[in-house]
Amino acid sequence: MFKNLILVIFTVMVFSISPSVSYAKDDAHEGHDHSSHDHSSHGSSDKKFYIHGGFKVHFDTITEAHEKKEEVDEAYTHSHLQIGYNLNKNLSLLTDIKIEGESGGHSHGGAAATVPEDKFFEDHKLFINKLILSYSTDSGITLYGGKFNPSVGLDYHVFPGIWGYQKVEEYAIVERLGYGIALKQNFEDLGTHKLDVSTFFKDTTSLSNSVITDRGKTKKSDGGVSNTQDFSSYSISLEGKNFFSLSNNFVDGLSYKLGHAKQSKATKNLGSNSANSSAINDNTALTNDEKRSSISLMHKSLIAPNLSMRILTEFMKIEHLTGEDGHDRDYMTTGLDFYYKKFNVGGTYTQETNEAAEADEAIDDKVYQVSVGYLVNNNLHFHVGYKKADEENEIKHTLGAMIQYYFDM
């Protein structure tokens, strides 16, 4: 109860902050969250110190479920606080602090959900999500290293709707240690394009732990893809936007992203104290390499005065999911949202397709969700929505509300 009280006080303090500079209206209309950070975006800034915040507070009610005990009420948050410091014109340091809880049925990395029960800001984790040192040049080259999310598909925060980010976050590659290079060039009418290449491994330092709720420090002996403590895993992505054509208005609002990543199979060191140490070699390869490829498209347009539309779609193909032999998975997510003055309507549909040797893993999932929002101002938004999730052959219906708050200091 004491931890819950601390969490509520923290949230109230954050919402009471009066920002000196608000988000641009276009960013607010894209569901912008500053957890998605361009490593080079502040490298040439004349601001020494900056703070960004993106906070979401959910209130969900599962109105119908496969089992009556799963019909619960939940309050939780998914929030980021970014603190940046420009050491000079080219060198900058970014820290992204994340606090989040999980809704019923939603888990990161495919972990099993806990026993359903009513929750009020319980089981929340506060941790360092990113810690990045970057060096940017005037020619559009950025070198970066530290703890980051390798770039493959779209950032999950751009998907519309109250719960749009959740299904995509489940398969995102996050919290890796490594380094990379980003090359960004403006080709005028042909758009601005960025190539991002990085190599990484799973965070096994003290930064992998959390406070409020202790999620435990990740160890190399835990195994899992990219838990190798070497740079045998990699990601590469190419994205582009800001196209221009005098004869084709459709091109103006188009953007794309192509991505590929390999997470190397791990060697699980069982150690002399392991219960299995007598039966299994201390360095036994337990997994396959996981490979994934994605293609993402987004289009924004003004279809009438004060009425804008955004449509996006992403296909992600994963071979040897989490390193499992004989388990491939595809995700297809399509999102659509409309903004009219201070109102918006948006949602997503996600189809998860599994090809697996085991019958209980070869179940396809479908999730769709839609919400209506009101923008009090560029910083404060209110939303209400509905979600239907057909996962593991169980259907859940959820009604929810969300308070969304952004600030930029």
Q: How far is CA 264 from CA 48, 231, 283, 291, in A?
A: 38, 9, 15, 9
pLDDT at 405: 96
pLDDT at 142: 98
pLDDT at 143: 98
CATH code, domain carrying 25? 2.40.160.10
What gap in Å lies between CA 130 and CA 77, rounded to an integer? 18
Structural domain containing residue 146: 2-408
User: What per-residue string of b and e applies to 63-100 under the rule 16 or more CB within 10 Å gives b?
Assistant: eebeeeebbeebbbbbbbbbebebeeebebebbbbbbb
Contact 371, 385 (CB under 8 A): yes
Please state the domain count of the chain: 1
Mean pLDDT, consecutive 10-residue segments, the chain of 409 residues? Answer: 49 43 39 46 66 96 93 96 96 97 61 71 95 97 98 96 95 97 95 98 96 94 91 98 85 95 78 36 62 98 94 97 92 98 97 93 96 96 97 95 94
pLDDT at 173: 97
pLDDT at 280: 34
Amino acid at 366: K
Cβ neighbours for 18, distance < 8 A, ≥ 6 positions apart: none
Residue 90, φ and ψ in degrees, nearest 5: -110, -25
Q: Is the pTM of this model over 0.75?
A: yes
pLDDT at 302: 93
